[in-house]
Chains A and B, each alone.
Chain A
Amino acid sequence: MNPAPLALIAELTHRCPLHCVYCSNPVELQARENELDTPTWLRVFREAAAMGVLQVDLSGGEPLARADLEQLVAGARIAKLYVNLITSGIGLNETRLDALVHAGLDHLQLSLQDVDETAADEIAGTRAHAHKLALARMVRSRNVALTLNIVVHRKNLGRLDEMIALAEELSVQRLEIANVQYYGWALANREALLPTRDQLQQSIKTVKAAQERLKGRMRINFVVPDYYATFPKACMGGWGRKMILLDPAGRALPCHSAGIIPGLQFDNVREHPLAWIWEHSAAFREFRGEEWMPEPCRSCDRRTQDFGGCRCQALLIAGDAKATDPVCSLAPTRPLIDAALQRINSNPESEPPATTREFLYRINPASSAATSKPKDSFQQVS
């Protein structure tokens, strides 16, 4: 028996009013008619709790796009899970917020694209910023934890001080400043988003000073881009070790983007109990443990800390999901990462102007069952 996962990530829907250029959803999105219904999600939450899962992350897309969100929060809480809602806040008014809190919501993670309204709206492709600020204040006056999530990249790292000041002004308990991770939509936009080395070093200094100054008032978590790291991140805490993700259609995945790995078979909670999937699903067994590891991971002392890094990154950069994560300084494919860093750092001034023209915007899922390919839905915003 494997130890139970700690968290269930429930991607309730891929529908979203935003079109973020670094969206972590797969490039091929699930359509509304494929989404799991309310009773199925409620059953899954009960199964998760029975397995020993402690926490559910209600995510998306935008989970508020589900009309039954209040029911899902209540059902998860009754199942004795800790209930996290990860949201852009679009579509959340005071009445609905109260209903969610009443249903047992424990923690709301509100994403903010930037402190500069024009820039935020450029990234998310919609006007959303002012509403979020009002919402953050509303959440703070209720008995629910609030984390402000700000995604950072080359275009907005220069405003890090203002971001921290904003979080202070809103007196949030937690601030997560996360650099974009380069998969899916973000990888398509990597050349425009990856920060320079100077930017990164400056940002680390800024965050450390703020962490010290705000100790006990605000907890600041900072995620750096792994391209600049010496060793890979322990992606998802290790494949099939800590987390199980369900996509809107009920497919169980070991991580957000595992769907890109060719040959993996994903079992569905419509057909199998969650516990069976965790234990037996081929996709979860594929990279669990150390059997699959190539050298240099196999004999590396760090294999129990980073578990070989990220399989999706290995596929995307090295072309092989079984390879050592290319960001590792010991990986034979590290030069591919260095080449990207070299391009960005040798001539950062030559980057294209900050217009929306250079971005590939994340789309909304097709309303028909036919999946739209990203190239068909490339949105040029003039």
Chain B
Amino acid sequence: MSFPSLDARPRLAPGCRLSDSSSENQVFLLMPEGALRLNQTGLKIAQLCTGDHSLEEIIERLAVQFGSADRQQVERETVSFLTRLHEKRVVDF
């Protein structure tokens, strides 16, 4: 499976975690291959990848948090981001 359903509950895979950082502008997603510097949206998504939230909930929260009127766009971007991380084996569903 490479495309997540809205019911899926993404979580960071073993050995993948957010860096400890005092500044939100300098948070990395650490993984075996190296690190990914996260922007604010990426960080919010990664923080919600705990296995407790469905993809639908994550999209909902982001849309509210960023006050985005275009829920479709939030959904597209979130799904695309998580699909890429899933293919890198950084996020499990």
Which residues of A pack against B, CB within 8 Å? 6-7, 54-55, 80, 82, 84, 106-107, 109, 142-147, 173-174, 215-219
Q: Judge whether B89 and A173 touch: CB under 8 Å.
A: yes
Closest 5 A/B residue pairs (Cβ): A145-B15, A82-B30, A173-B89, A107-B32, A216-B2
Q: Judge whether A216 and B1 touch: CB under 8 Å.
A: yes
Which residues of B pack against A, CB within 8 Å? 1-2, 13-17, 19-20, 28, 30-32, 34-35, 86-89
Measured in the bound complex, the distance between the Cα atoms of B19 and A268 in whole Å is 29
Q: Judge whether A6 and B35 touch: CB under 8 Å.
A: yes
Residues of chain A contacted by B30 (CB below 8 angstroms): 54-55, 82, 106
Partner of A219, one of B2, B15, B20, B88: B88
- Closest chain B CB from A146 CB (angstroms): 8
Tell me whether A173 and B13 are in contact in the complex, defined as CB-CB below 8 angstroms, given that A54-B28, A80-B19 are known contacts. Answer: yes
Nearest residue, chain B, Cβ from A143: B14
Tell me whether A106 and B2 are in contact in the complex, defined as CB-CB below 8 angstroms, given that A54-B28, A54-B34, A84-B32 are known contacts. Answer: no
Q: Judge whether B14 and A219 touch: CB under 8 Å.
A: no
- Closest chain A CB from B37 CB (angstroms): 10
Q: Main SS of the interface on chain B?
A: loop
Q: Judge whether B32 and A147 touch: CB under 8 Å.
A: yes
Q: Judge whether B17 and A106 touch: CB under 8 Å.
A: yes
Q: Judge whether A219 and B34 touch: CB under 8 Å.
A: no
Residues of chain A contacted by B13 (CB below 8 angstroms): 145, 173
Nearest residue, chain A, Cβ from B31: A145
Measured in the bound complex, the distance between the Cα atoms of B28 and A173 in whole Å is 20
Measured in the bound complex, the distance between the Cα atoms of B31 and A84 in whole Å is 10
Measured in the bound complex, the distance between the Cα atoms of B86 and A146 in whole Å is 16
30 pairs, A vs B, C-beta closer than 8 Å: A6-B35, A7-B34, A54-B19, A54-B30, A54-B34, A54-B35, A55-B30, A82-B17, A82-B30, A106-B15, A106-B30, A106-B32, A107-B15, A109-B32, A143-B14, A143-B15, A144-B14, A145-B14, A145-B31, A146-B15, A147-B32, A173-B13, A173-B89, A174-B32, A174-B89, A215-B2, A216-B2, A216-B87, A216-B89, A219-B89
Tell me whether A80 and B89 are in contact in the complex, defined as CB-CB below 8 angstroms, given that A54-B34, A215-B2, A216-B2 are known contacts. Answer: no
Residues of chain A contacted by B35 (CB below 8 angstroms): 6, 54-55, 82
Residues of chain A contacted by B86 (CB below 8 angstroms): 216
Q: Judge whether B14 and A173 touch: CB under 8 Å.
A: yes
Q: Judge whether A6 and B34 touch: CB under 8 Å.
A: yes
Measured in the bound complex, the distance between the Cα atoms of B37 and A266 in whole Å is 32
Measured in the bound complex, the distance between the Cα atoms of B87 and A217 in whole Å is 8
Nearest residue, chain A, Cβ from B20: A80
Nearest residue, chain B, Cβ from A242: B34
Q: Judge whether A145 and B32 touch: CB under 8 Å.
A: yes
Measured in the bound complex, the distance between the Cα atoms of B31 and A173 in whole Å is 12
Residues of chain A contacted by B14 (CB below 8 angstroms): 142-146, 173
Residues of chain B contacted by A106 (CB below 8 angstroms): 15, 17, 30, 32
Measured in the bound complex, the distance between the Cα atoms of B40 and A353 in whole Å is 59
Nearest residue, chain B, Cβ from A211: B87
Residues of chain B contacted by A109 (CB below 8 angstroms): 32
